C-alpha cells in the first residue's frame, strides 16, 4: 500500500518545537522534586513501569513490525511512538481510574528525564532490525546527534526549568501551570488540525487502515504495562497507574520529531497523529473498566 506525501511547511518547525517545549515546561511546573524522591520508595512499581515502557514496548513493537507487512514509514512511526515516554494526560486518566496518581506523576517525571537518553537509543537501536524502515532513515539521513539535541531543547531544558521554578516559586508555578496546560494544548490541537485539514485526503483515504494498526499497537502497549505490573506483584492501584502510563505514550513528542527530523514523512506523520487521538479514547475506556474494580482485588486476566 502506497501512502502519498503529506503537506509539510518546514518554516513551521520552530513553532511546533516551541509548543511542545511549553507543554513539557507546563508539565514540569506541576512536578515537585519529591516526585523523583518517591521513586526510591517504590522501586518495584517504577522498575515495572519504566522497564515496560523503555525495554519491552520498543522491543515487542519491533517484533510486531517484522511479523506484519506494513509500509516502512508506518512501521518506523510505530517504533518512534513506542520509544517515547508517557504523556502528562496519563496522570489525569490514572486519577479517573482510581489508580495511584502519585505513582503516575512520579513515573511521568522519571520517564521524561530518562527519555532524553533512552528515546533516541531505543529508536535508533530497534530500527536497525527493520531493513525497510532503516532505508528511510538512511535516505533522510537522520542524525542521532541532532535527534539528541532536539530532545535537549524540547524536553530536557523545559523540564529542568519547570522543576526549578516549581522549587523556588511554588505559587507562581501553580498559576503558570494552569495557563500553560490550556494554552499549549490548544496550540498543539490547532497545529494538528491545520495539518489534518491540509492533508485531509491522505487521512480519509487511509483512516480505517491506520485506526486498525493504532488500535492493535496501543492495545499491546496497555497489555504490556498491565502484565508487567501484575508480574511485579503490585497492588491494584499501582497496577492501574503502570498500565495507563505505558499505554499512553507522549505522541506529541513523536509528532514534533517527525516534522523536525523526518520532514513530515507521510506514514510516520499519520500513524503518530492517529495514535495521539486514539490513545486518549482508549485510556478513558481503560479507566472506566478499572474504575469498576475494587481496590483490594486484583484485576483479573482474561481466562483466569
Report domain extents, the chain: 10-291
CATH of domain 10-291: 1.20.1530.20
Residue 232, pLDDT score: 92
In this prediction the pTM is: 0.79
Residue 258, pLDDT score: 82
Residue 302, pLDDT score: 38
Return per-residue pLDDT of the chain as tens, 304 residues: 555 555 555 555 667 677 777 777 877 787 776 666 666 777 888 899 999 999 999 999 999 999 988 888 899 999 999 998 887 778 778 888 888 887 888 888 888 888 888 888 999 899 989 988 888 887 776 666 777 777 787 777 888 888 888 888 878 888 888 777 777 667 666 766 666 666 666 666 667 788 899 999 999 999 999 999 999 999 898 999 999 999 998 877 887 788 777 777 778 888 888 887 788 889 889 999 998 876 544 444 434 4
Q: Could you tell me the sign of the dihedral formed by the alpha carbons of 94, 95, 96, 100, in that order?
A: positive
Cα separation of 226 and 241, whole Å?
Answer: 9
Residue 53, pLDDT score: 94
What sections of the chain are H helices per DSSP? 13-28, 33-41, 43-51, 57-67, 72-83, 89-97, 101-127, 131-140, 144-151, 157-168, 170-198, 200-231, 236-247, 251-261, 266-291
Other CB atoms within a 10 A radius of the CB of residue 157 amount to 15
Amino acid at each position: 500500500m502506497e501512502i502519498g506525501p503529506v503537506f509539510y511547511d518546514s518554516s513551521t518547525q520552530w513553532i511546533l518545537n516551541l509548543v511542545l517545549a511549553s507543554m513539557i515546561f507546563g508539565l514540569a511546573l506541576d512536578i515537585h522534586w519529591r516526585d523523583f524522591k518517591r521513586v526510591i520508595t517504590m522501586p518495584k512499581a517504577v522498575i515495572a513501569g519504566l522497564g515496560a515502557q523503555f525495554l519491552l514496548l520498543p522491543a515487542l513493537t519491533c517484533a510486531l513490525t517484522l511479523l506484519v507487512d506494513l509500509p516502512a514509514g508506518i512501521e518506523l512511526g510505530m517504533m518512534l511512538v513506542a520509544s517515547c515516554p508517557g504523556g502528562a494526560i496519563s496522570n489525569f486518566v490514572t486519577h479517573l481510574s482510581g489508580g495511584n496518581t502519585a505513582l503516575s506523576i512520579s513515573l511521568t517525571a522519571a520517564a521524561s528525564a530518562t527519555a532524553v537518553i533512552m528515546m533516541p537509543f531505543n529508536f535508533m537501536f530497534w530500527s536497525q532490525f527493520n531493513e525497510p524502515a532503516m532505508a528511510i532513515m538512511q535516505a533522510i539521513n537522520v542524525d542521532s546527534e541532532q535527534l539528541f539535541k532536539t530532545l535537549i531543547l524540547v524536553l530536557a531544558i523545559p523540564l529542568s526549568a519547570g522543576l526549578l521554578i516549581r522549587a523556588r516559586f511554588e505559587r507562581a508555578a501553580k498559576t503558570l501551570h494552569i495557563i500553560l496546560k490550556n494554552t499549549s494544548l490548544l496550540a498543539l490541537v490547532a497545529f494538528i488540525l491545520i495539518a489534518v485539514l491540509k492533508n485531509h485526503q491522505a487521512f480519509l483515504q487511509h483512516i480505517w487502515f491506520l485506526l486498525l494498526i493504532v488500535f492493535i499497537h496501543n492495545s499491546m502497549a496497555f497489555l504490556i504495562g498491565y502484565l508487567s505490573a501484575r508480574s511485579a506483584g503490585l497492588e491494584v492501584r499501582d497496577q492501574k497507574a503502570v498500565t495507563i502510563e505505558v499505554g499512553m505514550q507522549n505522541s506529541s513528542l513523536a509528532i514534533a520529531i517527525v516534522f523536525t527530523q523526518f520532514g513530515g514523512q507521510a506514514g510516520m506523520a499519520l500513524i503518530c497523529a492517529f495514535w495521539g487521538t486514539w490513545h486518549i479514547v482508549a485510556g478513558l475506556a481503560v479507566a472506566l473498566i478499572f474504575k469498576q474494580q475494587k481496590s483490594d482485588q486484583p484485576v483479573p486476566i482474561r481466562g483466569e
